[in-house]
A and B are shown apart, each in its own frame.
Chain A
Amino acid sequence: MRNLYLTQTATIVDIKSQNSMVRVFVLKPENGKLFNYWPGQFINLSIKGFGEAPFAVCSAPSKTGEFQICAQKKGVLTGKLFALSMGDKVGFRGPYGNGFPLSKIAKRNLTLIAGGVGLAPLRPLIQLIRSRSFEFGKIQLFCGAREKQMLLFQNEYDAWQKHLQINLTLDIASENWKGNVGLITDLFDKIKLVKNPVLIMCGPAIMYPAVIKKLKQKKVTEKDIYVLLERRMHCGIGICQHCVLVNGKYVCKDGPVFNYAEIKNSPGAI
């Protein structure tokens, strides 16, 4: 019988520092094994002696077999991950979760909403938009961060801008910042939403109620809102109960991408 908890080995082939707390790790599965996943799915990263933790794959599937995760140094496992160098090996299992409902959202206008490191799980979608693997209508990105250095993937914005409208805001402005200052919800008062959009948001839990309240004022259709949820996870397959949404769903199995309408009545989900 297949053992669900065994991990595959991957080599860290590149590390891209985003800021002092956030790094992108490029992983290559050992023995040239293909790792097939759907954009928006996640893996459980395993480091010997430090256990496991879930990470969104932050890159679209590629032909090279490599994939990327974006980690913020926050706990014991990420502390160890940041101590690793190129060439070091880690374990992983997955992919888990549902990923983005691409067939449902294709051809629609898209509004992506990201808070802080929440931009990372949305990046596969942006890469798909760029590679034109899927056709979309008009696309815009609302992205907020505490300070300028906390904005992820800054060196990619020029390339992204050819395909989507980027709207940035910072909580704290640095001297040379010319963009918006304030919460992400402020952006919605200043920038017009694309017509009849599908909205996909990823950010800290505190961001969701505020943004959703704002979107409701803008008369956005509830069924067109998607949220990516973060929860503690151990098994990744809907059994261990850590990632439960009361009344029925498991973030690892039924998410992490949820239609807002299906979880809005689940207490504590948003």
Chain B
Amino acid sequence: MTSSDLKRFVQYLLDKNYIIYAPVKKQGRVLIEQISDSRNFTLVKERPLYPFKKYLLPPKQALFNFSENNGSENNPDRSRDEKSAANMRVLFGITVFDLRAVALLSQVFEKDSYFQDIISRTIFIGQSPVPEETTFYEKYEENILEHFKFDIFIESRSDQKNFRIFTGSKHGQRMLNDFGYADFEHIEYAGPIPEEGLSKFHKKLVGKVKLSYGSKIWKDLGKRCLGCDKCTLVCPTCFCFKIYDENNPLTDSVRRTREWDSCFNSEFSEIAGGAKFLKTIQDRIYNWYDHKFVRIPREYNLPGCVGCGRCSEVCPAGINIKEVVGQILKKKTPNIINIASRTKKSTKKRRIKK
């Protein structure tokens, strides 16, 4: 597909009333904005500062409205923007980083009706990223696509002028066929988790991060980190939330609301009476890494960090996730896990013999 074909495809989608969100270059920054005209459209290949997360997990979302004086109400609020109600939304140019995050979020929010409702109305048109210096994740290869949920994927290569096009769903195939473009290859979705499971890199990190608890790495980071929560805002996999009631005194209405939260907020772990369980910034930054590199891999068999490098870019204290991970990996830790598992096995065997 040529660049002008791509432009025509965007216009075709706009004419079909799809709402398109795509990366746009503005004053040296790459942001995601709604596209209303294909004439100025170019595929921005740099990773946007903010991920596509807010289109899948709204920063603030009504769970339901209360009516009357009932304690509860089985009346979920499904009132949407009139324009978008009838239409599908297209996340155009979503990079591999963010597709990887979508794969994780789809697992985490598998049973969440709000998330699934949004996903069912969303078309993913992905693109291969240019290599980023800030990342430590394995490089983009074609075979990772089978583990991402997407409709259409645009592969751009520096040695080739034209784009290579893949489809990942029937819907994507239909869209391209209807547009009149047939030169695409289909990739069958093979589930979110590769056959070999977690990569060696992430497997190693699970143990290393666990063993690093209480080490100088975290003491130092605890002093450097401001606890400002910027990293959690731009992270495509951060999904913590809080639930509270929003009161509207004018209409006397109450709305149960779900809103992004951040584990860096000091009241995040606070219980009635004031006790906190993530007491210090050191506790909180360790917890953040623990979630990304220990808990998520254990719970979902997927990495909790997609390696996009956004957190490093926005950190006012200059904390770089790649450097931190490097420090953790470099830290010599006695191979306790292996020794422990060995002794466990041997005692088991002995028991069986008895």
Q: List residues of A whose CB falls within 8 A of some B CB.
A: 1-10, 46-53, 72, 74-75, 78, 88-92, 204-205, 230-232, 234-235, 237, 239-242, 244, 246-248, 267-268
Is the beta-carbon distance between B113 and A3 smaller than 8 angstroms?
yes
Is the beta-carbon distance between B243 and A48 smaller than 8 angstroms?
no
Contact of A74 among B73, B273, B278, B291 (CB under 8 A): B273
Is the beta-carbon distance between A242 and B254 smaller than 8 angstroms?
no
B contact residues around A241 at 8 Å (CB)? 239-240, 261, 263, 268, 291
Given the known interface contacts A89-B71, A239-B109, A242-B269, the answer about A49 and B241 at a Cβ–Cβ threshold of 8 Å is no
Residue of A nearest to B112 (CB): A4
A contact residues around B287 at 8 Å (CB)? 244, 246
B contact residues around A50 at 8 Å (CB)? 245
B contact residues around A235 at 8 Å (CB)? 241, 243
- Additional pairs, 14, CB under 8 Å, beyond known A205-B277, A239-B112: A7-B71, A9-B70, A46-B72, A46-B256, A48-B66, A72-B272, A75-B272, A232-B269, A239-B109, A240-B243, A241-B263, A246-B213, A246-B283, A267-B213
A91–B72 Cα distance when bound, in Å, is: 5
Is the beta-carbon distance between A268 and B283 smaller than 8 angstroms?
yes
Q: How many A-B residue pairs have CB under 8 A?
A: 134
Does B286 have its Cβ within 8 Å of any Cβ on chain A?
yes
A contact residues around B277 at 8 Å (CB)? 205, 231-232, 268
A88–B70 Cα distance when bound, in Å, is: 9
Is the beta-carbon distance between A47 and B71 smaller than 8 angstroms?
yes
Chain A's nearest CB lies how many Å from the CB of B349? 21
Is the beta-carbon distance between B72 and A9 smaller than 8 angstroms?
yes
Sampled A-B contacts (9; CB under 8 Å): A5-B64, A6-B76, A48-B254, A78-B272, A239-B109, A242-B240, A242-B261, A246-B287, A248-B294
Proximity string of chain B (58-76) to chain A, C-beta cutoff 8 Å, 1 when within and 0 when not = 0000011010011111101
Does B290 have its Cβ within 8 Å of any Cβ on chain A?
yes
Does B108 have its Cβ within 8 Å of any Cβ on chain A?
yes
B contact residues around A232 at 8 Å (CB)? 268-271, 277
Residue of B nearest to A48 (CB): B66
Does B247 have its Cβ within 8 Å of any Cβ on chain A?
yes
Does B250 have its Cβ within 8 Å of any Cβ on chain A?
no
A contact residues around B194 at 8 Å (CB)? none
Does B111 have its Cβ within 8 Å of any Cβ on chain A?
yes
Does B318 have its Cβ within 8 Å of any Cβ on chain A?
no
Chain A's nearest CB lies how many Å from the CB of B110? 10
Is the beta-carbon distance between A244 and B291 smaller than 8 angstroms?
yes
A232–B242 Cα distance when bound, in Å, is: 10
Does B244 have its Cβ within 8 Å of any Cβ on chain A?
yes
Is the beta-carbon distance between A5 and B63 smaller than 8 angstroms?
yes
A199–B294 Cα distance when bound, in Å, is: 30
Chain B's nearest CB lies how many Å from the CB of A261? 14
Does B4 have its Cβ within 8 Å of any Cβ on chain A?
no
Is the beta-carbon distance between B245 and A1 smaller than 8 angstroms?
no
Residue of B nearest to A3 (CB): B113
Given the known interface contacts A48-B245, A51-B243, A74-B272, the answer about A7 and B112 at a Cβ–Cβ threshold of 8 Å is no
B contact residues around A5 at 8 Å (CB)? 63-64, 243, 256, 258
Is the beta-carbon distance between B298 and A248 smaller than 8 angstroms?
yes
A contact residues around B254 at 8 Å (CB)? 48-49
A237–B63 Cα distance when bound, in Å, is: 16
A contact residues around B298 at 8 Å (CB)? 248
Does B339 have its Cβ within 8 Å of any Cβ on chain A?
no
B contact residues around A75 at 8 Å (CB)? 272-273
Most buried by B among A1, A72, A89: A1
Residue of B nearest to A50 (CB): B245
B contact residues around A8 at 8 Å (CB)? 72
Does B210 have its Cβ within 8 Å of any Cβ on chain A?
yes
Is the beta-carbon distance between B261 and A46 smaller than 8 angstroms?
no
Is the beta-carbon distance between B275 and A51 smaller than 8 angstroms?
no
Residue of B nearest to A245 (CB): B277
Is the beta-carbon distance between B269 and A247 smaller than 8 angstroms?
no
Is the beta-carbon distance between B111 and A4 smaller than 8 angstroms?
yes
Proximity string of chain B (283-304) to chain A, C-beta cutoff 8 Å, 1 when within and 0 when not = 1001100110011001000000
A contact residues around B242 at 8 Å (CB)? 234, 240, 242
